[in-house]
């Protein structure tokens, strides 16, 4: 492991520190700053020639700032003659712009992938991409991790019985994810019939599948952004007599009106991971943050040793 070096951008330093603690490695020394005109400055403060370098930098809000910082760091390490450079991107911004859903619009997820590749990244390690096909947007190998084991372990620690749980998909698009969690808990599945009114507004109507009356409803998603969909679904579930409602997501973006919506929604608990740092203003009393540092650390160790990453989930 002596040839392994882990560095962090400014997006989520605590996560990088936790990964280093898990691997029992010191965090790499790097100086990041801003010039008076706002341009990003970067200087690597230790030798990385011939080293296997991992840069931990989720491209979370402010997305453009964090993405540009990642690109500058990648360029710095390539010019410093690192042996292999892996961009560890727990949250990949622009992932929702993965297709042309109308005329004359970009596919920005592909553009962001091109930028990271052209900057010099040899590999990418990502977690719960909004669309799995984004892996194909990169012209370098991508290792795709899932936070499902971390979320499932949290609910299993609550010692809920299978006959009192129902896994709910907040929309039709999340059925595959919900089925995986339902199989894990040996629980029935219910689906919310959601109709999108605009880009940021949805309307939830009916419940299809298992009954939620008197049950503990578990909802899973890859991210909570403005929280409109998940809060609307929670209202429907609550109206149908659910005993308790929990929402779990890998990425807690919580932008725009999300905090106010979650505060007034009928959730017994909201579970997110530390893939994105939560500011104090976004921490609600019923929000629990789980760490994915060990998951990322294990994947980094396997990549460094040229071992299988997919075996982690079998």
The answer to whether 118 touches 83, Cβ cutoff 8 Å, is no
Question: Please, where are the H alpha helices in 222-306?
Answer: 228-239, 258-264, 293-304
CA distances from 313 to 136, 222, 225 (A): 20, 17, 26
pLDDT in tens, 133-174: 999 999 999 999 999 999 999 999 999 998 999 999 988 888
Domain spans in the chain, listed from the N-terminal domain onward: 4-146+293-313, 148-290
CATH among 2.30.40.10, 3.90.550.10, 3.40.50.2020, 3.40.50.620 for 4-146+293-313: 3.40.50.2020
Same fold, 4-146+293-313 and 148-290: yes
Please state at what angle helix 293-304 crosses helix 13-23, rounded to 10 degrees. Answer: 60
Q: Which tens digit of pLDDT belongs to each residue from 96-131?
A: 999 998 999 999 999 999 999 999 999 999 999 999
Distance of CA 292 to the CA centre of its chain: 10
Per-residue confidence (pLDDT) for residue 299, from 0 to 100:
98
pLDDT of residue 229: 87
Q: Which pLDDT score is estimated for 199?
A: 56
CATH topology of domain 148-290: Rossmann fold (3.40.50)
Report, as ranges of residue numbers, the positions in the chain whose pLDDT lies below 50: none
201-209 and 216-224 beta bridge pairing: unpaired
pLDDT value, residue 202:
57
Q: Residue 97: phi, psi to the nearest 5?
A: -95, 65
So which residues are the catalytic ones?
Answer: 194
């Amino acid at each position: 492991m002596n040839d392994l070096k882990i560095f962090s951008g400014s997006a989520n330093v605590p996560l990088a520190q936790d990964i280093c603690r898990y691997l029992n490695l010191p965090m790499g020394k790097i100086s990041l700053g801003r010039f008076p005109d706002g341009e990003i400055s970067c200087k690597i403060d230790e030798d990385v020639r011939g080293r296997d370098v991992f840069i931990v930098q989720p491209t979370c809000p402010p997305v453009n700032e964090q993405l540009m910082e990642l690109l500058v760091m990648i360029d710095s390490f390539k010019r410093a003659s690192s042996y292999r450079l892996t961009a560890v991107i727990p949250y990949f911004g622009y992932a929702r712009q993965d297709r042309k859903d109308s005329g004359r619009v970009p596919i920005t997820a592909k553009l962001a992938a091109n930028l990271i590749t052209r900057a010099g990244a040899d590999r990418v390690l990502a977690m719960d991409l909004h669309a799995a096909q984004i892996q194909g947007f990169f012209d370098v190998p991508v290792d795709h991790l899932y936070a499902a084991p971390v979320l499932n372990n949290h609910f299993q620690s609550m010692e809920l019985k299978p006959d009192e749980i129902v896994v709910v998909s907040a929309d039709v698009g999340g059925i595959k994810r919900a089925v995986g969690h339902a199989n894990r808990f040996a629980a029935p599945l219910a689906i919310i019939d959601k109709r999108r009114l605009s880009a940021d507004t949805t309307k939830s109507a009916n419940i299809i599948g298992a009954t939620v009356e008197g049950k503990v409803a578990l909802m899973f998603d890859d991210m909570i952004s403005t929280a409109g969909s998940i809060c609307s679904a929670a209202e429907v579930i609550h109206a149908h007599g659910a005993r308790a409602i929990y929402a779990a997501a890998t990425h807690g973006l919580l932008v725009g009106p999300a905090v106010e919506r979650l505060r007034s929604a009928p959730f017994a608990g909201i579970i997110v991971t530390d893939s994105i740092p939560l500011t104090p203003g976004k921490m609600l009393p019923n929000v629990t943050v789980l760490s994915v540092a060990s998951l990322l650390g294990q994947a980094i160790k396997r990549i460094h040793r040229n071992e299988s990453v997919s075996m982690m989930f079998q």
